Amino acid sequence: MPTSEDGQGSTPVYRTIAAALRAAIASGDLADGDRIPGENALMKRYGVARATARQALSMLINEGIVTAVRGSGVYVRSFKPLRRHGPNRLSRELWGAGRAIWQADTADRGYTTDRIRIATADPPGHVARALALADSDRVLLRSRRYSLDGRPVQLATSFLPAAIAAGTRIAEDDTGPGGIYARLAEMGHPPAHFTEEIRVRMPAPEEAEALDLGPGVPVLAVVRTALTADHDPVEVNEMTLDGSAYVLQYDFDA
């Protein structure tokens, strides 16, 4: 049991309390959806002040592994992370068979899409360069938000050359079986290569609001470029993922 609250010369007490709660969650003693001990219970158990108990709980909330429900308590965040397998989800066997890329991530868990926005626009400079567009060329922009089990987990904006995508089903809310890549294949531009760049950062305020992120939860910023067999770029997709909702998996041969 902690013997001091200043933590001088040792691990701060609030961190020790947070570590104990984190270990109970990792072991399954506190399962998804369970209410964890509140401030009063922690004060009594560890003999600490309310501010210390509150700091321990805030640490776990900021890590995204628990969530506070106003007027009720703090609960283990009831959500099974998505395993995002890079090669599998982009396989032509998937979208070529009329399946959505998201089906590779979610298995039998239902996902929904909202906040859909489709427009023809002038491309940002970095997108124009990635798509090798001329100065006067425009893009078809598709932005949307994905939610799983009722929880928003990803924002995505695709940019495609308007000369290819405008006026096609790609410009509709429902792009049809297999999604964008199946439609590109039907039009003679099947993606054959993909590149992805991933970095971790803190969200902008509007991203935190759209993804319902708690304080301190980072996002994964993913930029994917789809290219044909001739390495002609046909799509740039900028994605913002809830960093606490994903496990990224990549398989490589030595």
**Residue 124 reports pLDDT greater than 50:** yes
What total of structural domains would you count in the chain? 2
Q: In this predicted structure, what is the pLDDT of residue 78?
A: 65
**Residue 2 reports pLDDT greater than 60:** no
The CATH number of the domain where 226 resides is what? 3.40.1410.10
Q: Which of 20-24, 146-150, 208-212 has the lowest mean pLDDT?
A: 146-150
Average pLDDT over residues 176-195: 94
Residue 42 lies in a domain: yes
- The pTM of this model reads 0.76
**Residue 7 reports pLDDT greater than 50:** no
Question: Are 41 and 161 found together in one domain?
Answer: no
Question: Are 55 and 96 found together in one domain?
Answer: no
The stretches of the chain forming alpha helices (DSSP H) are 13-27, 39-46, 50-63, 86-89, 92-95, 102-106, 125-130, 162-165, 179-186, 205-210
Residue 7 lies in a domain: no
Average pLDDT, the chain: 88
Residue 2 lies in a domain: no
Question: Are 32 and 115 found together in one domain?
Answer: no
CA proximity to 58, closest of 47, 68, 71, 46? 68
Question: Regarding predicted confidence, which is higher, 92 or 13?
Answer: 13
Half-sphere exposure for 96 (CA within 13 Å, toward CB): 10
Residue 4 lies in a domain: no
Range of the domain at 233: 82-249
User: Exposed, middle or buried: residue 71 (CB in 10 Å: 0-12, 13-18, 19+)?
Assistant: exposed
Residues in the chain: 254
Average pLDDT over residues 172-189: 94
pLDDT digits (tens, 9 = 90+) for 19-40: 999 999 888 899 888 999 999 9
Question: Are 110 and 70 found together in one domain?
Answer: no
The CATH number of the domain where 61 resides is what? 1.10.10.10
Residue 170 lies in a domain: yes
Q: In this predicted structure, what is the pLDDT of residue 174?
A: 93
Four-residue CA torsion sign, 83, 160, 174, 91:
negative
pLDDT digits (tens, 9 = 90+) for 186-205: 999 999 999 999 999 999 99
Question: Are 49 and 104 found together in one domain?
Answer: no
Average pLDDT over residues 127-147: 96
Measure Cα distances from 98 to 52, 122, 244 in Å: 54, 30, 30
Question: Are 203 and 98 found together in one domain?
Answer: yes
Question: Are 72 and 86 found together in one domain?
Answer: no
Furthest CA-CA distance within the chain = 70
